[in-house]
Structure 1
Amino acid sequence: MDIIKNQFFIGFCINFILIYIFCKIPLMTKSGWISAGILGTILWGCLSWQGWMSVVIYLLFGSLVTKIGFKFKKEQGIAEKRGGRRGPENVWGSAATGLFLAIMTKFNAANVVMFKVGFAASFAAKLADTFGSEIGKRFGKDTYLITSLKKVERGTEGGISLEGTLASFLGSIFMAFIMLRLSIISTKYHFIVVVVSGLLATLTESIIGAKFQNKYKLSNELVNAIQTSIASFFAIFALVLYSYFIN
């Protein structure tokens, strides 16, 4: 118990010292930085520095890719609000599922591997979504509604492009690689499961955007939470299925 308390205390100190130093960088709003500090503290306490670092890398690359072609996207009226800076709603919409699974590793030791794979898949899906959306809006030549393949304007909910889909795939691969290098996941099978789950969840999120988001007035943050949950479900289901047939 003392070790766990120490991990949370270390996480708290490191996160808020770093936030104090780097909060002037326009990656997040003030409340976004505070949310990131809370998130980082809990992640450090549950998954040590590796879990924390994986999400720092996600936030960094997710924020940076938003800046790609930002002037063009702003002129087109499809740029992220607040100059691409992330607020608390962005932090929790993207990380709530992963955070839940990280916490579960402390309450169910028998299924730690399963929870870690789900954790990795949730962030692979979110980075895939960010890569696909931001790169697709800037470099996508033709955008099609995923449910009908009819040509639509850039930035349309549920719209996909070849360039954006390839970027999503690369984003999922990149995040899975980071999770593997940081030992959140540990096998080639885990890596493949995380990559595929991240991409499938991103495509599913596009279907949700096309069919349900405007109809039911779903916020982007809620859709993000649904997407990451779907990715985790896919990954955990694949892991359980694999274990069943192997055993």
Structure 2
Amino acid sequence: MGMSSPSMQPPLLHIKSLPIRCQHFQQRSSFSSSFFPIFPKSTTTTTTKTLILNPIPRKPSNSNKLATMPQAANHVQAAVSEVLKLIQTSPPTWKSALLSNVLIFVAGYRILVSGLSLSGIAAAFLLGTLTWRAFALPGFLLVATYFVIGTGATKVKMAQKEAQGVAEKRKGRRGPGSVIGSSTAGCVCAFLSIFGVGGEAYYRLWQLGFVASFCTKLSDTVSSEIGKAYGKTTYLVTTLKVVPRGTEGAVSLEGTFAGLLASISLASVGCLMGQINASEAIICVIASQIANLGESIIGAALQEKEGFRWLNNDAVNVINISMGSIIAVLMQQFVLQNWRM
């Protein structure tokens, strides 16, 4: 049989006991004599005891972990402070605009995906970053308000619109073409502001054009979607003939009124955010209605006609919002300025 490995045996501790003195008293023998007294005999004995020790493993101390926890908390707090400081940078930088949009888009992804395709979200991210860089948080909130109201109007009576064949594709989720077509004029105004075209005196003018462009587009979207959902009678704007819902260039009383309210609402948001004043808000509303009337005329007269096949909805959107932005700027420069004088 093989011997067990020494490493498997518990350690032995040999303890040598202290000498123990024992006194042995001998009984008197019958042969002992009184002349030979018996004295106690002292003997010394040594005993060896073996103590077996089983080592108990020591648990690691938590003191190191507890010591590092405050340090980790301090690092997190410092990082959060740096992020907030960067977001609040004034005037905004590209870095602060990018970081702000990343945080907002991650937090609001579920809302975004309800109204945009994935490629549409990518286009909206670029728009949001540009908007934050040019007009900071107020401009971003204006675009966010436009998106929420426009998406809500698109979803109204979606099943009915689909049954009639007038609903937006992908359950109303807009793609990059729609995002770009709806924001082209606003992006131009944002770039003009970023590069300081015209100096400080023109900054508010570009901001006015930015707000007016989104007021125009929101009014167009809401009037179209509410008209398709609730419009009792739709008329072709060029001939006033009754036409089916969803016809290009068709308008309805219900849709027109809803679009007007949407434009007033968004202009009010811009006014509350300090982007425009009350008189400029009125200009945005008037410009949006004039531009939408022009867009309806273009749709009825040219869209889907021979030689104008390129004039799809996205192209018409660019023309529409550009008209709204330009009309607002011209009204501010030539009408409002002269009226104040």
Segments of structure 2 that go 5 or more residues without pairing to the other structure are 1-85
TM-score by length of 2: 0.69
Counterpart amino acid of residue 19 in structure 1: F
Aligned to 1:225: 318
Asked if 1:157 corresponds to 2:248, the answer is: yes
Asked if 1:36 corresponds to 2:124, the answer is: yes
- 1:245 Cα deviation after fit: 5.0
1:88-136 Cα offsets, whole Å, 9 max, x none, are 1111100110111122123222211211111111100100001100000
Counterpart amino acid of residue 243 in structure 2: V
1:121·1:195 contact (CA, 8 Å) conserved in 2? yes
Identity %: 37
Segments of structure 1 that go 5 or more residues without pairing to the other structure are none
Counterpart amino acid of residue 134 in structure 2: C
1:67-98 Cα offsets, whole Å, 9 max, x none, are 00111000000000011011111111001101
User: RMSD of the alignment, in Å?
Assistant: 1.6
Higher Rg of the two aligned structures: 2
Which structure has greater helix proportion?
Answer: 1
Q: What is the DSSP-based 3-state SS (H/G/I as helix, E as strand, rest coil) of the residue aligned with 1:104?
A: helix
**Structure having greater relative contact order (Cα 8 Å, sep ≥ 6):** 1
Aligned to 1:235: 328
TM-score by length of 1: 0.94
- Cα distance in 2 for partners of 1:39, 1:89 equals 13
1:168·1:202 contact (CA, 8 Å) conserved in 2? no
Asked if 1:7 corresponds to 2:7, the answer is: no
- 1:171 Cα deviation after fit: 1.2
- 1:5 Cα deviation after fit: 8.6
Which of 161, 176, 180 pairs up with 2:267?
A: 176
Which structure has greater strand proportion?
Answer: 2
The within-5 A match list for 1:39-188 is 39-106=127-194, 107-108=196-197, 109-186=200-277, 188=278
Aligned to 2:294: 204
Counterpart amino acid of residue 169 in structure 2: K
Counterpart amino acid of residue 96 in structure 2: I
2:237·2:296 contact (CA, 8 Å) conserved in 1? yes
Q: What is the DSSP-based 3-state SS (H/G/I as helix, E as strand, rest coil) of the residue aligned with 1:176?
A: helix
1:23·1:30 contact (CA, 8 Å) conserved in 2? no
Q: What is the DSSP-based 3-state SS (H/G/I as helix, E as strand, rest coil) of the residue aligned with 2:225?
A: helix
1:204·1:227 contact (CA, 8 Å) conserved in 2? yes
